[in-house]
A and B are shown apart, each in its own frame.
Chain A
Amino acid sequence: MDNNEFEKESVASEEVAPEMSATEQLPGLEAQIEPEQAAAEIEKKTESDAAASAIPVKKSKRQLKKEEKKRLSQYHVGSWEIITHYFKYNDAEKKHYRYILGRRVSEKVWPVFRFLILFGLAFVILYPMLYMVSCAIRPQSEMSDPSILWIPKTFTLDNLIETWNAIDYPKLVWDTVSVNVVCSLIQVLTCSIAGYGFARFKFKGKGILFAIVLMQIIVPTQVILIPQFMQFRYFDPFGLISLISGEALNLADSPWALYLQAFFCNGIRAGLFIFLFRQFFRGLPKELEDAAYLDGCGPFETFVKVMVPNASNSFLTVFIFSVVWYWNDSYVSGMFFTKSNTIALQVSNLFNTISAYFNNGTPTGIASDWLVWIEAGCLLSILPILIMYIFLQKNFVEGVERSGIVG
């Protein structure tokens, strides 16, 4: 009984199936049937060709592409054809052709739309930069000229040279590099070590310690900056210094405060860097390390010789972030330095410096009087990182994709 029923059912379904296909193929599909025949003919032709020439001729890529295009064009239903035949189609076909039509339209329209949006946004981003350049190369007298919008009538490098002299640019850059770039280098190295420790070793209390790393990210610098400053003003870690020299060291106004912070993974946004490195090292395959251990490397040797070369992209990305954040930082270094001896501090004090330079030490006037010089100063201040970015840009963009920012 059961078997019989089953057979009946299967027969029934078989009977239904061809009907379905017939209904699908019924109206308006000559266009599809024709190409099939055409394709069959083409196949026959190619077969006969192949038979004629015993050695198969190797076709060039372009030829192959052309043929493929030709073959596909057999099946192509033009947009105009779809629109004119639309009411002849059944529901399923209507849906299908609506989809195809929608895709064709969006393929044409979307790039234009995307270009417009990206162009507009890129313009908004570049606007201040262009304005900066435009201001920096024009004389002050043309600042208030309403007929000049972007391109000044006379080009001059005087503003740049005067600002260069006023802020003593080479010395300023050297100071910034010797403090900030060195700090960011140290920080990348030590944070990578700590991040590796968190990524690959199991030890007691790891959860709590990692929670402290997250705390480092969340707690604003402002909360701990003052006690930190006091610690470096009277530098006496655990009573060690006063044991040796009898008195606490004064590390305020010296780069050593920042060096020490960077060395002990507590520099600017160090928690974030440890987190990033941890994420990245967790993503590397464990077999790499096991192979190194089998070959007799110790854990630190493994880290230096195996893991670091594999993580070079991530290192580059984090290094750029670190350099940029140190370069732009006027907050932490503003707390530790009373003199404005880094570029970020100098820029936030630019008005006073420049007006004092022109007026024998007394700042006068309003900011717009000194606009061209201030713009020139801004341009000079971001110039080094811009140059660095132009050279490392490709690596940076690629590095971000593979850097393990996404765990």
Chain B
Amino acid sequence: MSELEKDMNPEQEGVNVTETGENEAVLNAEPETQAAAEEAIAQTETAQETAEEPQPAPRQYAAHMTASAAALNAAGEVDIRRRKPRQEKKIKESKISYERRKGLYGYGFIALWFVGVVYMFIIPLFQSLWYSLSYCELVSQTDVMEKYGMDGPGIYTEWNDFGNYKKAFTENPDYPQNLVKSLGETAYSVPLILVFSLFVALLLNDKFKGRTFARAIFFLPVLIATGPVLQVINGDMLSQGVGEAAQFSALFKANFVEEFLQFMGLNNISQSFADAVSEITGTILNLIWDSGIQILIFIAALQQIPVSAKEAASMEGATGWEFFWKITFPTISPMIFANLIYTVIDAFVKTDNPVMQQVMSYARAWDYGFSSAMAWAYFVIVAVILGIISAIVSKFIFYQVD
């Protein structure tokens, strides 16, 4: 029991004492006697234990308490020595403030992540930066190790004057092409994905029968879009090494379009038109498969718009179109921004991106220096583009001030 509590309810003291089986004199003498006794004990203890430390100021009791206790003691009615010293839980008087102490716990919470991020993220990041700047060779045989003067197996690196970057941009014929291709794909697919997913999210946010079912179907791409099953569906299976793998995509897209055209009675349509249609349907297919998470985020954002806003707008006679542009769009604009960033990153990092495929193919051929140089150049370009986009777009975002 802390000192504070004891001071506040002295009745409890009496109960405690009877429980411990003290004699009646003590019972009668409470609480003054005990307080005095404790004071005495505490003082002797602190004097013995911590002689060097500056002693805390002794507690101030009312004079009559101490006096009466002393009198009782002198009369021999109470033997204060028989009372066991109370085991008190001392309140720690820490020197740092509560907030800072909480902050230290914060370090405890992120410790696991910090160890991991240093060992598995930051060190590899700088290593790959170093690889990209140097000549690399995987060394595992002992004679080669001796030649390079290495202790154990690993990657031998030697500074080679930006050789990898020069090679990537001047000698390698594929890399600049792939770079342009992937940037171009991103440039047209990102706005398409955003508009499309916002549109679908608006549709799915309405109230209608079977909404849960429709949502379940539209979140399905989230489950499958990242996997190799989609690669089978799209017909670009890397590791199969089978040229005819493109037949999958032929089966999935062209057949569908031609059947549909035949169904519409458009049999003798020109080949170029059919190609264009199948191109468009292919794009739509990819669009849907890529925009699962964006739809999810937009639906979550649309839930934030209060029903009262909708009611108020309809009272004022706003049409759906006006409501969208004047209320919905500004309210979800921070999420549009977040979605934009996510989509750009996703498009750049996707494994079926041409640059990433090239990087991986060189990495599988143990050409670490060159592949990491390509990856870093790409990463820097992406980072610059992201910076520009966020600098421009963040000016047009409306933040609600709560």
Contacts and interface: CB of A to CB of B under 8 A. Distances in A.
Nearest to A196: B109
A263 B120 contact: no
A386 B222 CA distance: 11
Contact of A223 (B125, B214, B216, B229): B125
Contacts of B108: 197, 299-300
Nearest to A190: B112
Given A266-B120, A266-B121, A347-B228, A299 B223 contact: no
B144 interface: no
A228 interface: yes
Given A220-B349, A224-B128, A225-B363, A367 B244 contact: yes
A125 interface: yes
B120 A349 contact: no
Given A216-B121, A231-B124, A405-B296, A264 B259 contact: no
Contacts of B345: 217-218
B397 interface: no
Contact of B233 (A114, A128, A197, A201): A128
Nearest to B233: A128
Interface in B338-397: 345, 348-349, 351, 356, 359-360, 363, 368, 371-372, 375-376, 378-379, 382-383, 386
Given A347-B228, A348-B237, A406-B297, A248 B217 contact: no
Contacts of A114: 203, 206, 208
B168 to A, nearest CB: 14
Contacts of A330: 227-228
Given A330-B228, A406-B301, A122 B244 contact: no
Given A124-B284, A216-B121, A344-B228, A111 B368 contact: no
B224 interface: yes
A302 to B, nearest CB: 10
A224 B242 contact: no
A194 B116 CA distance: 11
A114 B211 CA distance: 11
Contacts of B383: 218
Contact of B121 (A212, A299, A324, A344): A212
B216 A226 contact: no
A120 to B, nearest CB: 9
A400 B300 contact: yes
Interface residues of A, number: 99
A121 B112 contact: no
Contact of B349 (A128, A129, A221): A221
B114 A209 contact: yes
Given A111-B208, A226-B363, A401 B217 contact: no
Interface string B72-105: 0000000000000000000000000001001111
Contacts of A224: 121, 124-125, 128
A216 B244 contact: no
* Chain B interface mostly: helix
A223 B252 contact: no
A367 B217 contact: no
Given A330-B228, A367-B242, A194 B248 contact: no
A381 interface: yes
Interface string B244-283: 1101100110001001000000000000000000000100
A237 B349 contact: no
B229 A329 contact: no
B247 A366 contact: yes
Interface in A215-264: 215-228, 230-231, 234, 237-238, 248, 260-261, 263-264
B337 to A, nearest CB: 12
B318 to A, nearest CB: 9
B154 A230 contact: yes
A147 B154 CA distance: 60
Interface string A106-139: 1000010010011001101111110100000000
A299 B237 contact: no
B371 A226 contact: yes
Contacts of B107: 197, 201, 203
B110 A367 contact: no
A206 interface: yes
A201 to B, nearest CB: 3
A318 interface: no
Contacts of A324: 222-223, 226
Interface stretch (A6-14, A55-63, A388-396): A388-396
A40 interface: no
A368 interface: yes
Contacts of A248: 152
Interface in A321-348: 321, 324-325, 327-331, 344, 347-348
Interface in A160-186: none
Nearest to B214: A118
Contacts of B223: 324, 382, 385-386, 389
B240 A400 contact: no
A371 B240 CA distance: 13
B119 A264 contact: yes
B212 interface: yes
B70 to A, nearest CB: 38
A262 B89 CA distance: 41
Interface in B199-242: 200, 203-204, 206, 208, 212, 214-224, 226-229, 231-233, 237-240, 242
**Which A-B residue pairs are the 4 nearest by beta carbons?**
A264-B116, A201-B106, A197-B109, A328-B227
25 contacts: A96-B317, A106-B320, A114-B206, A197-B109, A201-B105, A212-B122, A218-B386, A221-B349, A227-B124, A228-B124, A231-B120, A299-B105, A299-B109, A303-B109, A325-B226, A329-B227, A348-B237, A350-B232, A367-B237, A389-B223, A393-B216, A396-B219, A400-B300, A401-B300, A406-B297
Interface of A: 96, 99, 102-103, 106, 111, 114, 117-118, 121-122, 124-129, 131, 149, 190-191, 193-194, 196-198, 200-204, 206, 209, 212, 215-228, 230-231, 234, 237-238, 248, 260-261, 263-266, 274, 299-300, 303, 321, 324-325, 327-331, 344, 347-352, 366-368, 371, 374, 378, 381-382, 385-386, 389, 393-394, 396-397, 400-401, 403, 405-406
